Amino acid sequence: MKKILVTGANGQLGSEIKMLAPNYPNFDFIFTDIEDFPLDQSEVIVANFKTIQPDIVINCAAYTAVDKAESDSIVADSINHLAISTLASLCAHSGAKLVHISTDYVFDGTSPIGYTESDLPNPKSVYGVTKLAGETACVKNCPESIIIRTAWVYSEFGNNFVKTMLRLMSERESLSVVNDQVGSPTYAADLAQVILTILTATKWEAGIFHYSNLGEISWFDFAQDIKEIAQKTCEIKGIPASSYPTPAERPAYSLLDKSKIIAVYGIVPMDYKISLKKMIERLK
């Protein structure tokens, strides 16, 4: 029975993997989070890794407070970069496989078309810079690792755009939402299934892959869809990102091209609206 270590198990993606774990009785899942597997303490990572001796590591843990990272770069780097360097080295030396989750923020958002895995990263925020450094360390220290870049993740677990919108739509008569940042949402439950599909595939093909749900929308469009599905009456107004300044710069266009993961692993991404309906139903 393969032993699978999942870090960041209480986050959105880790929680969704927990939900799916009973469907995979051939895997022995060990779910850890910051309390028992702190990614900002390398000596603890090493000690715990040697105790657990996993066959596979799914790293869902990350410093994801994008704006806070601008003034907290040392901690963000220790979690998003240095910890990944340590984990990747441990996996390489022990022969364990590593699946690491990254982000669309490694790109600058100036592309007119969806980003492919071979497009040159150019992060514009501390969060993006630290996540790219983590990717680089991952590839360098454990060339057989799989890195999955994703975007706009939401789930019924944790804090995210969908849950925030649902709450605000219940509290307010109108909302202003950015309408000039475009991408595609990712339902964490779908991403969790993708990871487990890869782990049970007949082949292991290392490298970087892109995954999100299908669709090309703005945050404003996303909010409108949430309103429609949840049958809210709140008025949604579109505003430019310049009217809502944030410490960290967001990519204006961060659609991820999913051709590679479809071709290599036969993954069929779900339309974002179908997944959004499923998530809102589960919340009810």
Catalytic entry in 105, 115, 127, 211: 127
Angle (nearest 5°) at CA 158 between 225 and 136: 95
- Helix, strand, coil percent values for the chain (each to nearest 5): 45, 20, 35
* Residue matched to tokens 């600058």: 108
Question: Using CA atoms, how far apart are residues 248 and 203, in angstroms rounded to an integer?
Answer: 39
Helices (H), 115-247: 126-141, 161-171, 188-199, 219-230
Q: Taking CA 18 as the corner, what is the angle to CA 12 and CA 24, rounded to the nearest 5 degrees? A: 140
Overall size of the chain counted in residues: 284
127 as an active site residue: the answer is yes
Whole-angstrom distance, CA of residue 169 vs CA of residue 154: 17
Helices (H), 53-184: 73-77, 83-94, 126-141, 161-171
What angle (nearest 5°) sits at the alpha carbon of residue 109, between those of residues 108 and 110?
95
Q: Enumerate the active-site residues.
A: 127
